[in-house]
Amino acid sequence: MLKGDFIEDGKYWKSEEGEEYEVLEASALMANCGDGHYRDEIRLDSVYIRGRLDFSQVIFQGDVYFPRCIFSDRVNFIEAEFEDVASFGEARFAGEADFRLCQFQGDSYFLEAQFLKEANFYNSHFGGYAGFAESQFQGKTTFSETQFTDETSFASAQFKGEAEFIVTRFSAETDFTNTRFLGEKDFTGAKPYGPEAFS
């Protein structure tokens, strides 16, 4: 759970640790993709995004950068397409993070990201590098039927809730070094890495 307060008439959000984030309404961010295409790149660093964010079926034609951003509510990227880089490094997802059926055509980075509730990447496709090293998953996490076609890293990631990798396909080098599964894990039908890799 995120703890903090809005300051300066809601222009900023200050965490209990004293970190300050500029506040951006989710509706303002969604306003630029009325036709289902986000043509400009997104570059937001250390921004508190207030409200539910719905980018379902949106095609992102430029780079997407959300490093150290806080998503205060549910985020919906169902069937979204990222044509270039997608970076969520050190981002915090306070609500459900729904990335089902996504297409990541370029490299994607979720390094040290924190998913405080359910994270769902069911049946998504990662065409480039997929980085989840040192990420934390607090709730149920689903990567079932997801395809990783390039190098993938879950090194030092931590799964506190149930983790599902059912019929997941890893087609290139995959790093699960020091990955911790504190809840139940299911790798039924996953290839080439099965449950014996995490004993």
Q: Domain span at residue 142?
A: 56-198
Is residue 195's pLDDT more than 80? no
Does any domain span residue 40? no
Distance in Å from the first CA to the final CA of the chain:
31
Alpha-carbon distance of 6 to 19, in angstroms, equals 12
Where residue 117 falls among pLDDT bands split at 50, 70, 90? Answer: very high
pLDDT in tens, 27-56: 999 988 778 899 889 999 999 999 999 999
Looking at residues 141-154, what average pLDDT do you find? 97
Can you say how many angstroms the Cα of residue 109 is from the centroid of all Cα atoms in its chain?
8
Overall number of domains in the chain = 1
Does any domain span residue 1? no
Does any domain span residue 51? no
Does any domain span residue 67? yes
Looking at residues 115-135, what average pLDDT do you find? 98
pTM listed for this prediction: 0.92
Is residue 197's pLDDT more than 80? no
Is residue 193's pLDDT more than 60? no
pLDDT in tens, 50-96: 999 999 999 999 999 999 999 999 999 999 999 999 999 999 999 99
Does any domain span residue 93? yes
The mean-pLDDT minimum among 45-49, 75-79, 152-156, 193-197 falls in 193-197
Q: Cis link prior to 67 (omega < 30° from 0)?
A: no
Is residue 8's pLDDT more than 90? no
pLDDT of residue 196: 45
Alpha-carbon distance of 5 to 84, in angstroms, equals 35
Does any domain span residue 107? yes
Cα–Cα distance list, 58 to 25, 48, 108, 114 (Å): 18, 21, 16, 23
The mean-pLDDT minimum among 19-23, 100-104, 138-142 falls in 19-23
Does any domain span residue 38? no
Burial 61-79 (b: 16+ CB within 10 A, else e): eebbbbbbbbbbebbbbbb
Does any domain span residue 42? no
